[in-house]
Structure formats: structure tokens, C-alpha cells
A and B are shown apart, each in its own frame.
Chain A
Amino acid sequence: MNDDELLDDLGAAMRARASVPPGFLAAGRAAFAWRTVDAELAALAFDSAETGGVLSGTRADDAALRALTFATATLTVELEVGEDGLLGQLVPPQTGEVRVERRDGPPVTVTADDVGWFVVRPVPAGLVRLHVTAAEGGTVVTPWTTL
């Protein structure tokens, strides 16, 4: 690369930086506040939105709009997005505290009952993740997801 090419390329690089919306940097910096060190990151094991829809007939009375499964080695979190709420199940069944964290708002905390069942109403909007402190399965956090 000769001097003229280098200067052209430098100009392009500097103009690209100048074109970035200021909000981009602010949002990027702010994301670090969501760093979690006390929980294991669960992997997305299933998402009906990626496989082309929820299997019909799995739940006769309450048709889910979307089903998701998150898992670590010790705990699985099954979610169903329904019309009026987010239904969840901890597997294996156990009690726990489920904190629904939202990028754009305060968290909502619900309790999983002794068969691992929990409900969040209404369905939280925007980017959310679940921070689950399970009685036996440890502390787990799901990846950020738009439900």
C-alpha cells in the first residue's frame, strides 16, 4: 500500500468512525452493567421461532405462540409464550426464584412452585433474560431474548 492509498484508506476509516450514531457508544458502554458473574449461562436448546412454529396439540387448552428451552448440565428452563403470559417450568421440578431482567425496565421476580411451575404476566416486552436461582439446580441465567 503506497502513501496515497494509505491516506485514502485512513480517510475512509476516520469518516466511518464519525458516522457512528453517538447512542451506539453509550449503549455499548452501558451493556457492561449487565455482566453476571454469579450465574451459569444456559444454552438455547430449542426455539420454535427458529424451527418454524410450535408443534400443534402439545397443549390442548392453551395454544402457545412460541416455545423455548434453555439448558445447563443441571437445570432446564422450558418457556411458553402464551396470549396473556409467559409460562415456565423448571426441570427437574423444584422451587426457585425467577427474576425476569429487562434491558428497558425494572426486573420482575416470580417464584417457581414446588413442581417448578411459574408464570409471568404480562409477557415482558423487549430484550429480556431470566435469572433463575433454583433450589437444587444452581443459579442460571438465560441468554438475552426477545419473546
Chain B
Amino acid sequence: MIATVRDDPTVVDLVGRARDGDQEAWEAIVERYATLVWSVCRRHGLSGPDADDVNAAVWLRLVENLGALREPAALAGWLRTTTRRECLAVLRGRRRQIPVEDQDLGDEVDAASDEWLLREERHIALREAFDGLSERCRELLSLLFADPPLEYKEISARLGMKIGAIGPNRQRCLERLRGSPGLAALLAASGNRTDRR
């Protein structure tokens, strides 16, 4: 079984607080996982009003199940499965004449799917770690991961930073990113996984 963030204290805390009626904790959950819901919709070829319906249904189901979640730390997996079901319901409604068995349902527990979930969880941790960086680091890294990429000369001009300082600052900011608790745990988990192969 592939390691996920079973012991992620943030999500367990957020779910616990949302369960008790804390709106802020709920909003933090939505901000953290909305990208995952959207990503599942895209994987099923859904966008626009269909995706909006799926999204609304997923969050309503999470609200109604807050008290019943057996494993709050595995929320990403729960949301993936729930979103997937809602996507399939929309697709079924569209193609009512096609039996469910004949649709491409994939295999929920296959390795590619686990790989995908692990990547989504890592992305969630990366975004949180990024949000926790200093403004200077966020600016620098944003220019460094820009697509299409920018030349150091351009980055230097935009930030008023010497070209020779970009490399060391990049290293320092990425080091801080790695040090964020949520990300550190995940990178360690995926590192162990690679070692085992």
C-alpha cells in the first residue's frame, strides 16, 4: 500500500473543527481540496455546469458526512471517490441507454490511481508550504516556475536582485519550502517509497 498522509495533523484538526461548526475551518478545507475536486472533474471530461453540479454535490456530501468520516486524515481519498461517483452519475444521466458496466469506470484501486492521489496530496502540501513562505520567496519562486520560463536577467530586473544572488536565494527558499511540516512528512513518505523499489 502506498503511503499517504495518514497522520497529517492539519486535516484532522480542520475536520474536527468543522464538525463542531467552525466556518473558518470549513473554508480552509474547501480551499485545500477544491483543486482535487476540479482535477477529478477534468479527468472525467466534465467542465462548465456539469462540473459545477458535481462540485456542489461533493461539498454537500462532505458536510452531511463530517460526523461520519471514519478516517479524517484520508479526506483526499474520500473526496476523490465521492467526486468520481458524482461524475459518473452525471455521465450516466447523459448516456442513459448505456449500462453502467459498459462505461469506462476504471479501477479505483489501481496503481496509477494511487499514484495520482499521492501527487494530488503532494500538491496540496506544496501549495500550503508555498503560502507559508515570505513574500520575497513567493515572488522569486513564482518567477522561477513561470511558464514559459523567464531568464535570470529578466527575474533580476523584476525583483531588483543581482543575477548572482538568484541561485542562492532559490536554494534558500526551496529549503524553507521543504521544511514546512506537511510537505516534509510527504516528501519523506514518497522518498521511502522510492527506496523500497
Query: Which residues of A are at the interface with B, using a C-beta cutoff of 8 A?
Result: 1, 3, 6-17, 19-21, 23-25, 27-29, 31-32, 34-37, 41, 103, 127, 129, 141, 143-144, 146
Contacts and interface: CB of A to CB of B under 8 A. Distances in A.
Given A35-B21, A36-B64, A103-B60, A14 B27 contact: no
Interface string B20-53: 0101001100110011011100000000000111
Given A14-B130, A20-B34, A127-B56, A3 B170 contact: yes
Interface stretch (B6-14, B109-117, B139-147): B139-147
Given A20-B38, A24-B34, A11 B147 contact: yes
Nearest to A10: B126
Contacts of B89: 146
Contacts, number: 114
B21 A10 contact: no
A6 B56 CA distance: 33
A7 to B, nearest CB: 5
B49 to A, nearest CB: 10
A36 B67 CA distance: 10
B126 A28 contact: no
Given A15-B147, A31-B63, A41-B68, A10 B56 contact: no
Given A6-B178, A16-B39, A28 B34 contact: yes
Contacts of B53: 127
Nearest to A127: B57
Contacts of A129: 64
> What is the predominant secondary structure among interface residues of chain B facing chain A?
helix
B171 interface: yes
Interface residues of B, number: 49
B127 A14 contact: yes
Nearest to A6: B174
A23 B144 CA distance: 29
A2 B126 CA distance: 14
Contact of A1 (B123, B144, B187): B187
A11 B34 CA distance: 17
B122 interface: yes
A41 to B, nearest CB: 6
B75 interface: no
11 contacts: A1-B190, A3-B171, A7-B174, A11-B146, A12-B123, A14-B130, A14-B145, A20-B35, A24-B51, A32-B26, A144-B64
